[in-house]
Amino acid sequence: MAEPLRLADLGEWGLIERLGAFAPQGQFDDDGALVSPDGDHGLVVTTDLLVEGIHFSDTTMGPGDLGWRAAAANLSDLAAMGCHQVVGLTVGLAAPAETPWAWVEGVYGGLSEALAHYGGTLLGGDCSGSQQRLLAITALGRLDPARPIRRRDGRPGDLLVSSGAHGLSRLGLALLQGELEPLGDPELQERAITAHRRPRPRLDGLAALTASQPPGEPWRVAGMDSSDGLGQAVAAIAKRSLCQAVLERHQLPLAAAMAELPQAEAWCLGGGEDFELVLALAPAWAEALVEQLAGAQVIGRLEPAQPSDVSGWVTRPLRWADGTALALADAAGFSHFH
């Protein structure tokens, strides 16, 4: 008898694909779900799990950082959908009975700090005992349904834009875990650790997109956030848009001070948790956006999918501009089923 199929065999992306079959067509395509597409105020809902030992650990951050980060990860999904307003969060907290109240208080303090900064309130939640600490956050936000950001809206010829540097969060994690010796550059050290502990969701992206929209150009913005890695984000946009993404090695969005590290390219593409926006836009719009949004840069372009790719499913969504392969394994993001 064949072994039963386990979650480890599917991986996170394979599992999400199967779970999407229980939802209406297209519902699982983006960073969040659009609930009310009618009227002026579409509602977006998005859910994230953070599990101790996988997404966080006491050795790399305090409870206030964890709370901030948990909120930021969800607000980043709202930003990636094009939300102009954060409504708030619900928080499910599971923790062992011996967990100190002070830890929980710190987590909710960090969540509240992020909400005070970006808007929205704590809406409610639930708590339970468990063997392992876990946060389940659901965020609600509002967008203009005529101005969404969707993965599938890329077109061949679009330029790919990253809202900021990538790889810093992974560098910060390496430093906090002792995987790397402290850096000679204390400013980079501090910046990387802050990027890991206190990521900033790019809720400012929408205003820059609106301000840079060329006159007469209809709203069409493809995008997602880079929480699972820059390469993963580019690949997802390319796949959903039935395109191939072409990245320029010399345009990788690396913090200048980080470029010398041997891990720079791998962490830039696959480090994950930078919570930047990755967008595909008509060239004139992309160039105007880069002028508008400090730190943003063009990183490549979308081309028609290769003829060898089966219609409706792009098997090789990424390549380097010089023609060399950019295997998805190089930019695999996270697999949370070890």
- Contact positions toward a copy of itself, by CB under 8 A? 4-10, 12, 15-16, 18-19, 22-24, 27-28, 32-33, 35, 43, 45-51, 54-55, 87-88, 90-102, 104-105, 108-109, 111-112, 121-132, 134, 136, 138, 140, 336-338
Closer residue to a copy of itself, CB minimum distance, 140 or 302: 140
In 203-296, where do the E strands start and end? 221-225, 243-247, 277-281
Nearer to a copy of itself, 56 or 285 (CB): 56
5/259 with CB nearer a copy of itself = 5
User: How far separated are the first and last CA of the chain, in Å rounded?
Assistant: 24
Helix (H) or strand (E) holding 93: strand 85-95
Please say which residue, 253 or 333, places its beta carbon nearer to a copy of itself: 333
59 residue type, one letter:
T
b/e per residue 290-319 (b: at least 16 CB within 10 A):
beebeebbbbbbbeebeeebeeeebebbbb
The helix or strand, by DSSP H or E, that contains position 66, with its residue range, turns out to be helix 63-81
165 close to 274: Cβ distance less than 8 angstroms: yes
Beta carbon nearer to a copy of itself, 108 or 219 = 108
Inter-residue contact 305 to 253 (CB < 8 Å): no
